[in-house]
Amino acid sequence: MPYFDAASSAPLHPVARQALQASLDEGWADPARLYREGRRARLLLDAAREAAAEAVGCRPDELVFTSSGTRAVHSGIAGVLAGRRRAGRHLVVSAVEHSSVLHAAATHEGTGGTVTEVPVDRAGSVAVEAYADALREDTALACLQSANHEVGTEQPVAEVAEACRAAGVPLLVDAAQSLTWGPVPGDWSVVTGSAHKWGGPAGVGLLAVRKGVRFAPQGPADERESGRAAGFENIPAIVAAAAALRAVRAEAAAEAPRLRALTERIRARVPALVPDVEVVGDPVRRLPHLLTFSCLYVDGETVLHELDRAGFSVSSGSSCTSSTLTPSHVLRAMGVLSEGNVRVSLPLGTPEEDVERFLEVLPGVVSDVRRKLGAPEAAARGTESASLVVDSLGKLCPIPVIELAKVIGDVPVGGTVTVLADDEAARLDIPAWCEMRGQEYVGEEPSERGAAYVVRRLS
Amino acid sequence: MPYFDAASSAPLHPVARQALQASLDEGWADPARLYREGRRARLLLDAAREAAAEAVGCRPDELVFTSSGTRAVHSGIAGVLAGRRRAGRHLVVSAVEHSSVLHAAATHEGTGGTVTEVPVDRAGSVAVEAYADALREDTALACLQSANHEVGTEQPVAEVAEACRAAGVPLLVDAAQSLTWGPVPGDWSVVTGSAHKWGGPAGVGLLAVRKGVRFAPQGPADERESGRAAGFENIPAIVAAAAALRAVRAEAAAEAPRLRALTERIRARVPALVPDVEVVGDPVRRLPHLLTFSCLYVDGETVLHELDRAGFSVSSGSSCTSSTLTPSHVLRAMGVLSEGNVRVSLPLGTPEEDVERFLEVLPGVVSDVRRKLGAPEAAARGTESASLVVDSLGKLCPIPVIELAKVIGDVPVGGTVTVLADDEAARLDIPAWCEMRGQEYVGEEPSERGAAYVVRRLS
């Protein structure tokens, strides 16, 4: 039963399991105590810190363990913003950061801070110049992920770090998706990570803050972990996390090219096997194990459900698969199709056969879903009129796009179709469909309910 | 090698170990995902929540798992204070709460809130009337521990909860020390706990908030755990924590009276075996497994070190064993001796022989330390003068008290000894010595360096 969602959470690495079990006997006591159980726990904690720091590329006294990657991000952002309060209250983030970063930014705004979101291109990458231009005199902190969690695009972290350094602004890098593959390149100031993404246990994040970065921990005081991570240290899990990081790094040299070839195979073959598909994310500067594509005329939830029935666990950024019923902010920022979105992220050791089997199963799954939804197989031909209005009010993604596709052939080249829709996903998916189909997206017009999206037929 | 510091952290319960190992295979995926690995993780999480809620005595949807007991306290206090902001910004705590509560109170004060600390008696207990008197029109929250972590005294939680209910103020009960033994009595509003104190793994706390209590989670938004505990759920540890809580509860009925008899034996015999000892904490309303005593004329660190060499791991609230070099705020609030402080907290299953062996070893350890420090064995007799000054400036606890004890016999009854000291512990220990010795503590006088403590000889 292939699990293809390593980017959400990786299964526990066997080395982590061994380390966890071994340290349950030695690592349960309070490492601040002076008796032998406490001293043993302290030794384990110190050794884990050394190992993790080496893998991150920092000094052990620059690294603390938090209770999760989310907590590392929240504490890291809050700590630098408070520590550099005198510099100002401006925060820079990319538009495609993980929600933990964007939620921390929203909290900062809620208390009177200002935030600049640097946009990304259609591949999901920030431009170094645009990022540098966002830095201001009063910028306290800049945040940029090492690689995107939904589409795998690697960000130009080293170059942005250089620009930040020149501007005197610390750069926090959320490296949750990339620490498996290597340390963060360049002259960063803060790095955060999450152990369960690299095969460690849940309950462990890491926060590395370079010496010299002004940092003022927020929240009630707690003397553990240099005052940067409140709560009793979770030493067995920390030991397992550090052991897992070393283990996956040892495998990364061989696994990175192997998984890159497998994901490249999916990227190349899905558009050939499944009509009306857009593979998204940078084709070259990307994580080795992760790829994402979107399929027109299907809804993500049904595709996920059918793939699960066929034995494949994958993820989606489609609106219908999110609790908020809005499409992924990442796909939205990239301006790519969100409907029928599928993310495949391969755990270490994924066998080639599993990928081949996935490629066998996928076309049937997509075409079944399309058939059930009545999606167009070939362009329908009817009476041509200069303009048409399609009423998709009250209908959820992907119906508005399916109805648009059904009637576009009914207007002459140069004619327009206006789609009335109130599902938020349509705002993203109708322009994305136009881009894929070579039609012109004219724009959005006000409407009594929802919005009216105008499309001009070009071909 | 007997470990007598269960109140700091208990060794992992065998049931917790089994549950942890079993759920490592099933509980690593994201429980928010719809594929089979996610559904399995969700089932484990739901079952653990049911079990924990039953043990706490609340509904499953009232309980969330946090990353530690400290985090549960911080989030619980911040959430109620924010949720009841309209009621006012006044917070009531007892003077002997755990540092996590007092640090959260300090943070509240730092942002303009007001805090009332309810004092305790010499046994460490708040008076219900005094607690009720502290509640005001603008009180947003009241906090009271179920039992004290340093001296074991049980607080009148049910009665205080009733007073809070009458005043319309929610009561948060930090139950970290008592959940092993049973649910919190009375009509509480919020309960917090910490799994590693009851034999669960580190990395799990619990926060139960009764329906109807206004609660506004603070910090960046995160949809997990009802928005009350940010970060990826640590499901294997949560499963182990819930299993351990059920297991210890099943043992509590037999273990509580057995351990109470053992701690009673220590409470009764230590004063007989070791001269100049004060057993502190309520003799009756107390946790079954915990007791604390203080020994005049010794320093806590050396006693702990010597007991560790003899194979016993215990804790201390003496100033010399804390990183801040100030005595425990609990002992200070009780007004009892802090020097030579020893806390014994027995894990479940502690054999009687270990306690007997401790009672054999202790007297020799204390008298060795006293000999090395030159402590008085019997009152010295010298030339009597009406008043004497002892210069203990620059000398650390217990030296100022030892020097006072050495010369008290040199002044006539009615005469005074003035001790000059700059160690913070003297402020607590000199009055405590007077109380123990039946001498009069006259008070403190200003002095160029440190303080001058004046003692009148009464006998």
User: Omega before B398 cis (within 30°)?
Assistant: yes
Tell me the CA distances in angstroms from B220 to A78, A149, B104, B193, B224, one per residue in order: 10, 19, 18, 23, 12
DSSP letters, B186-202, are S--SEEEEEGGGTTS-T
Q: How far apart are CA A358 and CA A34, in angstroms?
A: 55
- Give domain limits for chain A: 14-248, 252-373, 387-456
According to CATH, what is the number of the domain A14-248? Answer: 3.40.640.10
Contact B29 A9 (CB under 8 A): yes
Q: Which positions ≥6 away from B440 have C-beta within 8 Å?
A: B434, B455, B456, B457, B458
The secondary structure of residue B78, as a DSSP letter, is H
Taking CA–CA distances from A231, the nearest residue in chain B reads B70
| A203 touches B at CB < 8 Å | yes
pLDDT tens digits, B64-82: 999 999 999 999 999 999 9
Superfamily holding B253-373:
Aspartate Aminotransferase, domain 1 (3.90.1150.10)
Which of B17, B205, B235 comes nearest A202 by C-beta?
B235
DSSP letters, A267-309, are HHHHHHHSSSEEEES-SSSB-TTEEEEEETTS-HHHHHHHHHH
Q: Which positions ≥6 away from B232 have C-beta within 8 Å?
A: A9, A68, A69, A70, A194, A196, A202, B30, B224
Contact A74 B219 (CB under 8 A): yes
Taking CA–CA distances from B305, the nearest residue in chain A reads A35
Q: How far apart are CA B315 and CA B313, in angstroms?
A: 7
The whole-angstrom distance between residue B126's C-alpha and the CA centroid of its chain comes to 14
| B226 touches A at CB < 8 Å | no
| A100 touches B at CB < 8 Å | yes
Strand order, beta sheet including B205-209? B63-66, B205-209, B190-194, B171-174, B139-143, B90-94, B114-118
Query: Which chain B residues contact residue A303 at CB under 8 A?
Result: none
- Return the CATH class of domain A252-373: alpha beta
Q: Parallel, antiparallel, or unpaired: how do β-strands A114-118 and A90-94 relate?
A: parallel
Among B238, B162, B163, B242, residue whose Cα is nearest residue B203: B238
The secondary structure of residue A154, as a DSSP letter, is B
Q: How far apart are CA A286 and CA A182, in angstroms?
A: 13
Which amino acid is it at A385? S
pLDDT at A384: 58
Assess contact for B96 and B145: CB atoms under 8 A: yes
Tell me the CA distances in angstroms from B9 to A190, B60, B332, one per residue in order: 32, 26, 23
Query: Which chain A residues contact residue B21 at CB under 8 A?
Result: 21
Contact A231 B67 (CB under 8 A): yes
Angle between helices B235-273 and B36-56 (to 10 degrees): 30
pLDDT tens digits, B252-289: 999 999 999 999 999 999 999 999 999 999 999 999 99
| B237 touches A at CB < 8 Å | yes
Q: Which strand (E) or helix (H) includes residue B291?
A: strand B290-295
Q: Which positions ≥6 away from B290 have C-beta within 8 Å?
A: B6, B7, B151, B152, B177, B263, B281, B343, B344, B345, B346
| A103 touches B at CB < 8 Å | yes
Contact A107 B220 (CB under 8 A): yes
Contact B70 A230 (CB under 8 A): yes
Which of B12, B67, B202 comes nearest A71 by C-beta?
B67
* Sites in chain A below the pLDDT cut of 50: 378-382
d(CA B138, nearest CA chain A) in Å: 22
Query: Which chain B residues contact residue A34 at CB under 8 A?
Result: 301, 304-305, 308, 321
pLDDT at A383: 52
Residue B208 forms beta bridges with which residues? B63, B191
Q: Which of B58, B295, B320, B397 is catalytic?
A: B320
Q: Which positions ≥6 away from B3 have C-beta within 8 Å?
A: A29, A35, A37, B11, B313, B347
Number of neighbours of residue B127 by Cβ within 10 angstroms: 15
Contact B237 A232 (CB under 8 A): no
Q: Enumerate residues 253 to 292 of chain B having a beta carbon within 8 A of any beta carbon in chain A.
A: none
Contact A313 B106 (CB under 8 A): no
Which of B1, B107, B232 comes nearest A68 by C-beta?
B232
Assess contact for A232 and B195: CB atoms under 8 A: no
User: How many CB contacts within 8 angstroms connect chain A with chain B?
Assistant: 192
Taking CA–CA distances from B8, the nearest residue in chain A reads A30
Which amino acid is it at B142? A
Q: What is the CA radius of gyration of chain B?
A: 24
| B8 touches A at CB < 8 Å | yes
| B301 touches A at CB < 8 Å | yes
pLDDT tens digits, B355-365: 999 999 999 99
* Sites in chain B below the pLDDT cut of 50: 378-382
Q: Enumerate residues 321 to 340 of chain A having a beta carbon within 8 A of any beta carbon in chain B.
A: 321, 323
Establish whether B58 is a catalytic residue. Answer: no
| B26 touches A at CB < 8 Å | no
Contact B28 A9 (CB under 8 A): yes
Contact A220 B100 (CB under 8 A): yes
Q: What is the CA radius of gyration of chain A?
A: 24
pLDDT at A382: 46
Query: Which chain B residues contact residue A37 at CB under 8 A?
Result: 3, 5, 313
Domain B253-373 matches domain B387-456 at the CATH topology level:
no
Q: Which of A58, A320, A397, A434 is catalytic?
A: A320
The tokens for B436 are 């123990």
| A111 touches B at CB < 8 Å | no
Query: Which chain B residues contact residue A68 at CB under 8 A?
Result: 67, 230-232, 234
Tell me the CA distances in angstroms from A338 to A86, A324, A368, A398, one per residue in order: 41, 14, 19, 9
User: Omega before B347 cis (within 30°)?
Assistant: no
- Return the CATH class of domain A387-456: alpha beta
